[in-house]
Structure 1
Amino acid sequence: MNLPNLLTLLRFALIPLYLALFFSELPGRIQWAFGVLLLAGLTDVIDGYLARKHRQVTQLGIMLDPLADKLMMLAVFLSLFLTNRIGIAAAIAIILRDVSMIVASAFFHFRGKKTVPANAMGKLTTVLYYVALFLLMFDHPVAGEFLWGVIIFSFLTSLIYLFQFKLLNEKTM
């Protein structure tokens, strides 16, 4: 187990910490929860950088890294839905996209297909989701509209990933 993969595993552990803080009665709970979310984002950046720099990119990391990200995002968006910060339509769109990507990735991984590593569009989508989360968690007036823009962009990014996945696996047949 290399350091980048350990950092990815740490992100899995940050999910229940985020939820515990978000739903706690602590003063500043939203700030603390957002801090945990930022820490998860920072570990994502660091593990990717270390994996590439030290040539420690593994198939396990390629699969676990986006899974950790998507599970964290699902937890965050579920918490926002349960506290009425986002509506049911946005929650369904986000959950549908992320669960579909998790299931498809696992399905194809276990069938021996190659998975597509993160690209610039995927990374931009993540950054935009973090901005949307900040706006939502701190009740900014344009949060809802911004979120829908990011949701649409994320679906376009998913279509690009599907196209890249198809091309990658056609070459290896």
Structure 2
Amino acid sequence: MNIPNMLTLSRFVLIPVYLATFLSGHIQIAFLILLAAGLTDILDGYIARTRGLITPVGVMLDPLADKCMMIAVILSLLITHMIPWQAAAAMFIRDAGMIIGSAFFHFRGKLTVPANVMGKLTTVLYYLAILFIVFKLTFAVTYLWFVISVSFVTSFIYIFQFLLLNRAAKSK
């Protein structure tokens, strides 16, 4: 257990805090909690990379924490009717698919693709979409659909990288 992994675990703890805050009607404060979770994501990655503290557990837990938080956000926005169910379904399918796929292949000894620039960009775009939704900007849902499209493109890039990485490892 190192500092980056502890920061990652703190994001799991922030999920129920976010949900309790959001569902009690304090939506802007809940968004600040979401931002705090995002900052721990940036911080744990920075510390892990610069101090050589990248671990297999961290490589798996970091995206899992992000996906679990995003699923909590999707559900909170859906049950308060802030986003259409179709958008929530698309986001849920993508994130649940990434979680299940990553766990399935991780436990089968396959190499995991670390976060890349497209994944980080997608996360930033989602945070902006959530900000726009929370503050009820007129273009928020349209922008969300754009981000959902980008997230699926990013997923296909990850799948392609995963296949290449594991094919190269198999041929060695």
**Bin of the TM-score, shorter chain as denominator length:** over 0.9
Name the CA distance, whole Å, in 2 between partners of 1:81 and 1:24.
15
Mapping of residues 137-152 of structure 1, within 5 Å: 137-152=134-149
C-alpha deviation, 1:31, in angstroms: 1.5
Counterpart pick for 1:51 among 38, 48, 52: 48
Counterpart pick for 2:98 among 101, 104, 117: 101
C-alpha deviation, 1:143, in angstroms: 0.3
Which residue in the other structure is 1:156 paired with?
Answer: 153
Which residue in the other structure is 1:70 paired with?
Answer: 67
Q: How many residues align?
A: 170
Name the CA distance, whole Å, in 2 between partners of 1:160 and 1:139.
31
Which residue in the other structure is 1:79 paired with?
Answer: 76
Name the CA distance, whole Å, in 2 between partners of 1:118 and 1:94.
18
SS at match of 1:157: helix
Name the CA distance, whole Å, in 2 between partners of 1:76 and 1:91.
10
C-alpha deviation, 1:170, in angstroms: 0.4
Is residue 41 from structure 1 mapped to residue 9 from structure 2 by the alignment?
no
C-alpha deviation, 1:137, in angstroms: 1.1
TM-score (norm 1): 0.97
Is residue 135 from structure 1 mapped to residue 117 from structure 2 by the alignment?
no
Deviations, residues 60-98 of structure 1 (Å, cap 9, x unaligned): 001000000000011001100000001111010000000
Name the CA distance, whole Å, in 1 between partners of 2:136 and 2:40.
26
C-alpha deviation, 1:171, in angstroms: 0.7
Name the CA distance, whole Å, in 2 between partners of 1:125 and 1:62.
18
Which residue in the other structure is 1:3 paired with?
Answer: 3
TM-score (norm 2): 0.98
Instruction: List gaps (5 residues or longer) in structure 2.
Output: none
CA RMSD of aligned residues (A): 0.6
SS at match of 1:172: helix
Name the CA distance, whole Å, in 2 between partners of 1:24 and 1:130.
21
Name the CA distance, whole Å, in 2 between partners of 1:47 and 1:118.
13
Which residue in the other structure is 1:17 paired with?
Answer: 17
Q: Which runs of 4 or more aligned residues in structure 1 lie more than 2 Å from their structure 2 counterparts after TM superposition?
A: none
Letter paired with 1:46: L
State percent identity of aligned pairs.
60
